[in-house]
Chain A
Amino acid sequence: MNPLLAVENLSVSFAGQQAVDAVSFQLAAGECLALVGESGSGKSVTARSLMGLSGGTVSATKLMVCHEDALALSEPAWQKIRGNSVVMILQDALMALDPLRPVGREIEDVLKEHSSLNKSQRTAKVREILAAVELPEPERRMKQRSTQLSGGMRQRVLIAQALIGDPQIVIADEATTALDSRLAALVLEQLAALKNEGRAVLMISHDLAQVAQLADRIAVMRAGQIVETGPTEQILNHPQHEYTRTLLRAIPSGVPRFAPLSAGTPVNEPRQLAPASTDSAPALVVENLSKSFAKHPAVVEAGFVLPRGATLGLVGESGSGKTTTARLVLGLERPDTGSVTLLGDRFAPHSEAARRGLRENIGAIYQNPLGSFDPRYSVGQILTDALSAGRSKRATGYKDQVGRLLEQVELDPVLSTRNPRELSGGQRQRLAIARALAPEPKVLVLDEPVSALDVSIQATVLDLLDRLQQETGTSYLFISHDLSVIEHMSDFVAVMHRGRIVEQGPTAQVFGDPQHEYTRILMTAMPRLR
């Protein structure tokens, strides 16, 4: 069969820097190929060069796109192909739509470029396609801007924009990344439908578990090269290349608690939770917590107990009230009702002055740590600042302690003179962990700590968190939308839905025998490999 995409020895370089190095693959109609690799592995550049949008210097012995020689295509010829026979669904639905234009107009632009329909015909077609991707109230929504839509609606709009041109090849660039499991399932469902209609689907992702559900074949990319390629079944069950095995091992789904996800971490005995001594209070007791913003309830009567030395996983979709709960627990937001008790002491609601003595017992780590670092501070200054409780940022008196902290989170002490902006995403998160550990807190609130990281980096950070918990006995309130991360990391789980905790209990119980309807829906949407 004549493939829609035929790539032989594709190389792309930027100002002499090789981003893609002699990559070859083929893709036929009705087939799905996944390019899997870490960020920076060249997978997105590869995908963009298939649309003539890489922005770098492209060379190849063969580059056929929809039976046309892509190396010889002029810019106007490319413009006829893009959005028409080859389309791309981009990663972040919020960023991929212009915040200043109604979403309907964005979709309509495809028709403006590629059809001779008049204004009313175009509007009718946009309405039609939005109904086809099941966007609620298409008539009203198409006039709104992307910032006024929910994440799910934006995702549907992006898919509608890709579909309206009736494409032969669909490139999905991290289209399921950082989506909660139900949204990811929605996107996968739509992509599967496209594949079944006989279109070719090229998936780009860092997450093997997610692509495995749809891909017929997987190509694993690393540092610009394809290190292994084969049928999905073979890649998952009989990986040949060491790097593929690393990626597979990094997937937390179904891995027992405390079992390492990354190589290089010493294997710890899965630890039994120490029986809670009767005289010491639990790390955290949350009772009847509620909070509304402008009469819109964000958290409703939430209650849970975090035993000492344990991890409670708080799971739910975006907008379910997880982060507001975290802010209430940290005393950053005043609850409307209810209370938070930290190690037996009342923590919220309370005056900040009364709380200050207790503050050092609780720390927090967020999804994007860079925003929480003072951009003028070096790594060492950030840690010194935390160690001295804000009294000093001069590294002299704290040099040894800074070194120990960096070692504890497996960062090279040499980094202490660097600016956090020079660190990689994984290193930044380690720095955030080191800073949170500086006052030796008893409780850590981790709000989506690994959601911005590649699966392989996520694995090393999760292993680090495991190790630190075993060494220090810190209790974790672990917040995530990712069920498999929660399952791997938690002793107890609380499921949040529309501001309420709908179900909670020991992890095995909640995951093995979900009682609440919503928990069951979440579980079925969860990708499973093992």
Chain B
Amino acid sequence: MKLLAWLGRKVGGALVVLWLVATAIFIGVRLIPGDPAEAIMGGPGSQASAEALANARSEYGLDLPIISQYFLFLAKLIRLDFGTSYSFKDPVLQIMGEVLPPTINLALLALVVAWLLALLFALLAMRANKFGRLLGNAVEIVAAAVPHFWLGAVLIMLFSSMLGWLPAVANGTPAGLVLPVLTLALPLAGFLTQLMRDSLNTAMGSQFALAARARGESRLTVFRRHGLRHAALPALGLTGWAFSSLLSGAVVVEAIFARPGLGRSLLSAVLARDIPMVTGIALFSALVYIVVMALTEAIERLIDPAGAES
């Protein structure tokens, strides 16, 4: 019952957020200078006739009053009709179905890898001596600070050009995924480790950790049973944010590794002023963000029911 109420609240909240996002997109798109009808006809360079432009306007409802356009826009969204892409001439939903999965795959994989790396870093930092800790700290900061495009280029140079171990271009094989995922995951891992280490140190130095040691647990067991939970909580709270940053990071990474996906489509859609595409991608990104936030909140509730209530 409690779970149902929680789910109901989440879905209601998600609908409100999606409506707000849609409205913001509607307003934002109309603030872009230039004539959307020209974009439909293939951009300013297409030299479309005045008649053709007028036809395009009436076809896409651009000649209606702005408030009617808004409700028409919302009505279409409710029917999951995102319209047809100006540049690809295909329904947006169909294009999304093609470009979304590879990007989500990439981001999810990067998220999992980043978490694993962060946990590994945190564990190493706990067991390290003073020098090791300093070194670890430096590595984390550098990892958290490097930009994706630089890291991607360096990884390609190192592992494909020089060592030849991994392909530089995504070719659909698992090996082709390694470098893009690492490029996305390493900075996030550095950032997550920084978040985890503080709470991990507090937990491992606490009375309950001492009590656990006094029960006969080894340091590793204490880490597994107590440290992990406490370390994960603050990082978990930021995972929703991290996932959205991964999506935007994917724009860069997909360009570097010539991967098909949402990022590249978004880039070309914005450049071509392809309003239905931009709308669709923004709404889907918001939806993905909401789902990830709800998931992390559910995990937080599992770990710390009392904290989540308050």
Contact = CB atoms under 8 A, between A and B. Distances in A.
A165 B214 CA distance: 11
Interface in A408-422: none
B211 A90 contact: yes
B269 to A, nearest CB: 44
Interface string B200-236: 0000001110111111111001000110011001000
Nearest to A86: B214
Interface stretch (B154-162, B242-250, B302-310): B302-310
A75 interface: yes
B225 A109 contact: yes
Nearest to A48: B210
Interface string A154-196: 0000000100010000000000000000000000000000000
Interface in A69-111: 75-76, 79-84, 87-88, 90-92, 95-101, 106, 109-110
Nearest to B303: A100
B229 A90 contact: no
Nearest to A113: B216
A51 to B, nearest CB: 6
Contacts of B216: 79-84, 110, 113-114
From B210, B211, B212, B213, residue with most partner A Cβ within 10 Å: B211
Given A90-B207, A95-B208, A109-B225, A100 B304 contact: yes
Given A79-B216, A109-B225, A91 B305 contact: no
Contacts of A148: 306
Contact of A53 (B210, B218, B226): B210
B227 to A, nearest CB: 10
B220 to A, nearest CB: 11
At the interface, is chain A mostly helix, strand, loop or mixed?
mixed
Given A91-B207, A95-B206, A145 B214 contact: no
A98 B215 contact: no
B214 A82 contact: yes
Contacts of A76: 218
Nearest to A145: B306
Interface string B65-78: 00000000000000
From A79, A91, A98, residue with most partner B Cβ within 10 Å: A98
B306 A109 contact: no
A101 B306 CA distance: 10
Given A109-B225, A145-B305, A98 B208 contact: yes
A279 B222 CA distance: 67
A235 B22 CA distance: 79
A51 B210 CA distance: 11
A241 B120 CA distance: 54
A170 to B, nearest CB: 11
Given A101-B229, A109-B225, A147-B306, A96 B208 contact: yes
A161 B226 contact: no
B215 to A, nearest CB: 4
A96 B217 CA distance: 15
Contacts of A98: 208, 212, 225-226, 229
A109 B217 contact: yes
A87 B229 CA distance: 25
A87 B214 contact: yes
B303 A95 contact: no
Interface string A103-127: 0001001100110000000000000
Contact of A113 (B211, B215, B306): B215
A234 B309 CA distance: 54
A145 B304 CA distance: 9
15 contacts: A79-B216, A87-B215, A95-B206, A95-B207, A96-B210, A96-B211, A98-B208, A98-B229, A100-B233, A101-B225, A106-B211, A113-B217, A113-B221, A148-B306, A161-B215
